[in-house]
């Protein structure tokens, strides 16, 4: 994909999360649980389209100006537009369109909800080495600073020690995260089960974390 900066740029926006929607093979970027951008993947998991939301008149105008901007792929074609990832749309224009899409979706919430979403976004939401979003944890900000901020010494780890997953991936193997390890999900993952999870819930949690790491690796 030409726009190698896209993943980092989208995730730099406050309160943004991403996941991999397996049914459609899309990497979704969301604000407040609503998608504002997507990277649609082809048969070989290569980026196929970048999809963004725009005001209808602007979307129509841009489609007339750039052959690489098309009506939304599998989306409402009035409000959504898809950009070819190896086309000729200038980087600055794509950044501007991503900004507008983010603001459009955010503005769809009430003022109160917008404040709540952005306040939550001030807390660490960075994907941890095991594929967990710290922003989704109720202990963040009270008992824990987050995995990356605490160097793996999260609230549930033995006092003064890093979580076994962080210790293995970051401290011992010197990886950026478990996404670079061929053994994921390994026995260390399976031995760090949250006791509040049933076996089925824990298995689902593992698959969700693996999907997040895979999505991050595909875009990078």
Q: What is the pLDDT of residues 125-164, one digit of tens each?
A: 568 899 988 877 777 767 887 787 788 998 888 888 999 9
As a whole number of angstroms, the distance between CA 52 and CA 72 comes to 8
**Mean pLDDT, the chain, as a whole number?**
88
pLDDT for the residue 91? 96
pLDDT for the residue 114? 92
Whether the per-residue pLDDT at 70 is higher than 80: the answer is: yes
The band of 107, judged by pLDDT with boundaries at 50, 70 and 90, is very high
Nearest to 47 by CA among 55, 58, 56, 37: 37
The band of 124, judged by pLDDT with boundaries at 50, 70 and 90, is very low
- Rounded alpha-carbon distances, angstroms, from residue 11 to 37, 151, 216: 11, 21, 11
Fold of 6-120: 3.90.1150
DSSP state, residue 31: E
pLDDT for the residue 121? 62
Q: Tell me the whole-structure pTM to 2 decimals.
A: 0.60
In the numeric block, which tokens belong to residue 40?
């649609």
The band of 211, judged by pLDDT with boundaries at 50, 70 and 90, is confident
pLDDT for the residue 15? 84
Boundaries of every domain in the chain: 6-120, 124-219
pLDDT for the residue 113? 92
């Amino acid at each position: 994909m030409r726009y190698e900066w896209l993943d980092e740029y989208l995730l730099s926006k406050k309160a943004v999360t991403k996941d991999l929607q397996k049914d459609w093979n899309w990497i979704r970027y969301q604000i407040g649980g609503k998608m504002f951008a997507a990277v649609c993947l082809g048969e070989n998991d290569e980026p196929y389209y970048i999809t963004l939301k725009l005001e209808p008149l602007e979307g129509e105008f841009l489609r007339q100006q750039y052959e690489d901007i098309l009506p939304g792929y599998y989306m409402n074609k009035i409000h959504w537009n898809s950009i070819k990832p190896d086309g000729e749309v200038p980087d600055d224009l794509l950044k501007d369109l991503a900004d507008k899409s983010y603001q459009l979706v955010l503005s769809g919430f009430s003022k109160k909800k917008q404040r709540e979403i952005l306040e939550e976004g001030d807390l660490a939401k960075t994907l941890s080495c095991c594929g967990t979003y710290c922003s989704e944890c109720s202990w963040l900000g009270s008992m824990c600073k987050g995995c990356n901020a605490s160097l793996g010494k999260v609230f549930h780890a033995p006092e003064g020690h890093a979580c076994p997953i962080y210790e293995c991936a970051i401290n011992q193997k010197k990886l950026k995260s478990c996404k670079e390890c061929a053994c994921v999900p390994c026995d260390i993952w399976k031995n760090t089960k949250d006791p509040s999870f049933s076996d089925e819930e824990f298995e689902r949690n593992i698959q969700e974390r693996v999907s997040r790491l895979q999505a991050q690796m595909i875009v990078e």
